[in-house]
Amino acid sequence: MQASQARVHIMHADAVMTAGLRTILAEAAEFQISTGAGQHGAQVIVADYEAGIAAARQGPQDRFGPAPRVLIVTQLDKEWEVRMAMDSGVHGYLLQNCQPEELVKAVRSLMQGMRYLSESVTRCVADSLSRETLTGRETDVLQLLAKGCCNKSIARELGIGVGTVKTHVKGLMSKLDATARTHAVVVATQRGLIGPGQRISGALHNRPAFHSNALQ
């Protein structure tokens, strides 16, 4: 092993993706690649969405050393999915259809202490920062609207008054620039703000500072 090689650990749930990631990164002689359960000593972890978030939240395994930097490679591209990962402490986010050169570039960026987002993900986050974010309660109401609940049902479910529900509906419709309740659900679905069984009220409150592909 060359002294300058960076230690990269791949922990992707998809075996085919793992093989592809390993092959691409191995061709760049600057990386020492490992896979499997053990990640001790890794400087960068390349992972799927769930494993990446878990690794970012876990922190350093060695209390005397820094935590590995985490790069997620996934097909998940919804606004709330990206923001959830960023809020969890992930350092980089790539989509699975990225070019091999971009994967290598992303790992290098993380090794240099920078963060990295693919171009399409950067646009997604930048667009979300230009919009008013929904409050936690507005998100709860929106989720119930998507399930077809009426104002009385929403009020009963959330333990609030019907008038308060109407206020939240009016607020979320304004923020989503929607003309009707069903339109609000359509817009939110297109933006990835709601999904089956998802509660995302905490995913959009904090705004991570990602404004370009590679950032200090």
Strand order in 115-117's β-sheet? 31-35, 6-11, 44-47, 69-74, 92-95, 115-117, 214-215
Looking at residue 207, its pLDDT comes to 35
Q: How far is the C-alpha of 92 from the C-alpha of 47, rounded, in Å?
A: 10
What is the chain's alpha carbon radius of gyration, rounded to the nearest angstrom? 20
Q: CA neighbours within 13 Å on the CB side: how many for 85? A: 29
Q: What share of the chain is helix, strand, coil (3-state, %, to 5)?
A: 45, 15, 40
Which pLDDT score, from 0 to 100, does residue 23 have?
94
190-205 residue pLDDT tens: 777 775 444 433 333 3
CA 124/CA 68 separation, integer angstroms:
26
Give the model's pLDDT for residue 33: 92
Helix locations, the chain, DSSP H: 15-27, 49-58, 79-87, 100-111, 119-129, 136-146, 151-158, 162-175, 181-190
The alpha carbon dihedral of 172, 74, 97, 42 has a sign of positive
* Cβ-contact 73, 21 below 8 angstroms: yes
**pLDDT tens for the chain, residues 1 to 216:** 455 678 999 999 999 999 999 999 999 888 999 987 666 778 999 999 999 999 998 866 555 557 899 999 999 887 778 878 888 899 999 999 999 999 999 999 999 999 999 887 887 676 666 577 788 899 899 989 999 999 999 999 999 999 999 999 999 999 888 999 999 998 888 777 775 444 433 333 333 333 334 433
Confidence at residue 135, expressed as pLDDT on a 0 to 100 scale: 84
Report the distance separating Cα 144 and Cα 185, nearest Å: 10
All domains in the chain, ordered by first residue: 6-129 (3.40.50.2300), 136-190 (1.10.10.10)
Cα dihedral: 51, 54, 56, 60 (round 10)? -110
pLDDT at 203: 34
